[in-house]
Amino acid sequence: MSLQEQQTDLRGGFKQEMQTRHIVMLALGGVIGTGLFLTSGYTVNQAGPLGAVIAYIIGALMVYLVMMCLGELAVQMPETGSFSTYATRFLGPGTGYTVAWLYWLTWTVAIGSEFTAAGILMARWFPETPVWIWSALFAMVVFLSNVVSVRLFAETEFWLSLVKVVTVLAFLAVGCGAILGFLHIDQAHSIGLSNFTREGLFPTGFMPIAMTLLAVAFAFSGTELIGIAAGETRDPQRNVPRAIRTTVLRLAIFFVGTIFVLATLLPREQAGLVESPFVTVFTYIGIPYSADIMNFVIISALLSAANSGLYAASRMLWTLSDQGHLPKQFSALTRMGTPLNAIIVSMAGGAASLLSSVFAPDTIYLALVSISGLAVVVVWMSIAASQIAFRRHYVANGGDVRDLKFRVRGYPWVPLGALFCCALACIGIGFDPEQRVALYFGVPFIAWCYFVYYITRSSRQRRLALAPLARSSDALPG
């Protein structure tokens, strides 16, 4: 039987094979990555120790508010399209279309760079092997993980994420031991909280806290994967709320705890160096093979990010096809319930992004990275706005909020708080010359998506109108 014959374009054909542990690790895996292991020192360097802790506390609060909004939507309407579908339904189809493309681009840009970075890191142990061989091998593994079945993807992501979670827990334990003086560290001033006061509480001022919020938000990005996975989760009304509460609590502990340890143990002027701050701290404490251990962990983080990124990107293409924006081939599913064509195109998009980073790093790739950095915050804003619109629609049509399986407590202040925090992150980058480019490229791209949606509206409506006729003619004998 041919591959095309094995596929089906039936809606709702996804396999509901994920359990609570899978979607919790999917969200943790999407969040705990190179942003924490490699670039977390940037926030300490820019905002100062106390400023960095405050920035991550605001980031954790932002995630909590957004995830509460997403929880109400995902439990009531567990769909693979998630926030794109909710935006389409409650904010307008143009907004849903734009959100889907923004999120697809975010993960597609990341996919190619993850494989390359992992291949480069393998050169530490295998210097004679070309980087492209490792990159191709990793790409094949991630591709198969996504294509074979949802269950295989979920299990792969679970174990890759577990490596990162264990590393963060070990870092917190060792770091706290050094801060309290139980472990020796080659930085005398690092015992206690002297790092927070030796340059003053805010050595770089208050503005850098707002300026680093976009980087912090990007570090927390990935929690929204729970919403996408809800459509492929067993008993979503029970498992999704549990996963959201567990994930938000763990992320708050992991991220705020990690940044506190880093800010306490590393001098601000050293925190922004190229080396992973985890390696620096482990080396100060005297843990052997620190660089090799973190090399393995960072490779796991890169593969985990690519794995979850390909999953998210392919589901966005599936959603666009399901809504009639793309040909129906992109919403076709294999017998195992995976959108093969959407996965292939998303992987190809990652390869194109990778090529642009080599041949046009200062033009095309810069634009792509800038748009993807802003996209996360815009997607979160759409989630909060969709929850407000959903609640109004639900009540206006006679619904009782007490009947919701998962509801936002403190409405409307929770979604309004999420919108405020996200807006603060967008405003903050306007004052940072290095991050301001995200606005220069991101805002025009959003406007372009709306423009494309409206000029293609008539052809899309014709395609949707003809789709039932095509299916009926296919069913006729002869």
In order of 191, 196, 275, 296, 433, the CA distances from 208 in angstroms are 26, 16, 22, 32, 12
Cα–Cα distance between 40 and 276 in angstroms, integer? 8
Per DSSP, the three-state class of 333 is strand
Cα–Cα distance between 232 and 305 in angstroms, integer? 19
Cα–Cα distance between 212 and 45 in angstroms, integer? 10
Domains of the chain: 16-450 (1.20.1740.10)
Burial of 176 per CB tally in 10 Å (0-12, 13-18, 19+): middle
Find residue 333's DSSP bridge partners.
8
Tokens found for residue 45: 């360097």
Contact 273, 174 (CB under 8 A): no
Please, what is the Cα angle at 144 between 138 and 145, to 5 degrees? 90
All residues at 6 or more sequence positions from 304 whose CB lies less than 8 Å from its CB, including other chains: 29, 30, 33, 157, 160, 161, 163, 164
The pLDDT value given to residue 475: 36
pLDDT in tens, the chain (478 residues): 333 333 333 334 676 777 778 877 777 776 777 667 766 777 888 888 888 889 889 888 998 899 999 989 988 888 878 889 999 999 999 999 999 999 999 888 888 878 888 888 898 899 888 888 998 899 999 999 999 888 888 888 888 888 888 888 888 998 888 888 787 776 545 556 777 877 777 877 888 888 777 778 777 877 888 888 877 777 878 888 888 888 888 888 888 898 898 888 887 777 665 567 788 788 888 888 888 888 898 889 888 888 888 998 999 999 998 888 888 888 888 888 889 999 999 999 988 888 887 787 777 777 787 788 788 899 999 999 999 999 999 999 998 898 888 888 888 999 999 999 888 888 877 787 777 888 888 899 999 999 999 888 776 666 656 555 444 433 334 3
Cα–Cα distance between 422 and 105 in angstroms, integer? 19
The pLDDT value given to residue 98: 95
The pLDDT value given to residue 343: 94
All residues at 6 or more sequence positions from 19 whose CB lies less than 8 Å from its CB, including other chains: 154, 233, 234, 239
The pLDDT value given to residue 1: 35
Contact 406, 241 (CB under 8 A): yes
CA atoms within 13 A on the CB side of 404: 24
All residues at 6 or more sequence positions from 126 whose CB lies less than 8 Å from its CB, including other chains: 134
Q: Computed from CA positions of residues 178, 46, 111, 313, in that sequence, does the dihedral angle turn out positive or negative?
A: positive
The pLDDT value given to residue 195: 75
User: How far from each other are the two terminal CA atoms of the chain, in whole angstroms?
Assistant: 20
All residues at 6 or more sequence positions from 53 whose CB lies less than 8 Å from its CB, including other chains: 256, 259, 260, 263
The pLDDT value given to residue 453: 92
The pLDDT value given to residue 187: 59
All residues at 6 or more sequence positions from 353 whose CB lies less than 8 Å from its CB, including other chains: 108, 109, 111, 112, 113, 365, 368
The pLDDT value given to residue 100: 94
All residues at 6 or more sequence positions from 441 whose CB lies less than 8 Å from its CB, including other chains: 366, 367, 370, 371
